[in-house]
Amino acid sequence: MIQNTFLFLERVKRGLEENLWKQGIKDWDSFLNAQKIGGISKRRKIYYDRKILQARKALYSQDSSYFKKILPQAEYYRLYDFFKDEAVFLDIETTGLDRNNDDITVIGLFDGIETKTMIKGINFDLKELKNELSKYKLIVTFNGSSFDVPFINRLYPHLLPNIPNFDVKSITNKLNLKGGLKEIEKKLGIERNKIIEGFYGGDALALWRMYRATGDDYYLKLLVEYNEEDVINLKTIADYCVDKLRERHISF
């Protein structure tokens, strides 16, 4: 869908973009090939043509960071189709919100095929994690733009690559999918392990504290499974939401 948007062009807002689609200018190629476009002067079209060619060059050079600079964050979902195979689904568990003692207890990654989990005090390795994250072109989170990404950047400022963060929560409301990740899973019929199913964020912290207090791996395994299901189910939700929004764009 990235090649169907014009919102990265100066002075192009959603209303003008929809007007372009209604004129049959549904993608970059049709814009470039059009001799005249209603609502856009000849001089401005020449300028926009140049900007679209720059964006197309960046896209086919796999330079997702280019779009982090020019695209509104709420529109990062449009990158998902193109970079889906090079996206990482990310979720963290933390020690809480006490800024004096907070830390990441578990960080889970899912590349669409397999999960990788790093645990504080066991296999959490910043160098290895940074190397792993450098492989990707898009970070996908749920509420990550408000929590996960700022949390990581505050504790480990140079860990995350300079690539867009597609926060799935930014589009769930557009589809009337209210609530948190667990509520949306239920609405979409996504099932979890029965033990894990009733867990919420605070329970993840409780599991970590139980593990640290007792040393019993049972609690740690539950926490890891909880985190793994978060990132795996996040992909299912992202796929669903982007498919639905694509259908809306096609209707123009």
Q: Could you read off the pLDDT of 35-76 as tens digits, one per residue? A: 999 999 999 999 999 999 999 999 999 999 999 999 999 999
Which residues are within 8 A (CB) of 235 and not within 5 positions of it... i.e. 6 or more apart? 89, 110, 112, 140
What count of other Cβ atoms lies within 10 Å of the Cβ of residue 211? 19
Spatial contact of 176 and 124, defined as CB atoms under 8 Å apart: no
Model's pTM, two decimal places?
A: 0.92
Q: How confident is the model at residue 201 (pLDDT cuts 50, 70, 90)?
A: low
Taking 90 as the threshold, does the pLDDT of residue 200 lie above it? no
Q: Is 36 helix (H, G, I), strand (E, B) or coil?
A: coil
Q: How confident is the model at residue 102 (pLDDT cuts 50, 70, 90)?
A: confident
CATH class given for the domain over 2-61 = mainly alpha
Taking 80 as the threshold, does the pLDDT of residue 212 lie above it? yes
Q: What is the CATH number of domain 85-248?
A: 3.30.420.10
Q: How far apart are CA 86 and CA 14, in angstroms?
A: 28
**Sheet with 115-119: strands ordered across:** 115-119, 104-110, 87-94, 138-141, 165-167
pLDDT at 97: 62
Domain range summary for the chain, segments of one domain joined by +? 2-61, 85-248
Q: How far apart are CA 54 and CA 77, in angstroms?
A: 20
Q: How confident is the model at residue 193 (pLDDT cuts 50, 70, 90)?
A: confident
Q: How confident is the model at residue 250 (pLDDT cuts 50, 70, 90)?
A: low
Q: Is 92 helix (H, G, I), strand (E, B) or coil?
A: strand
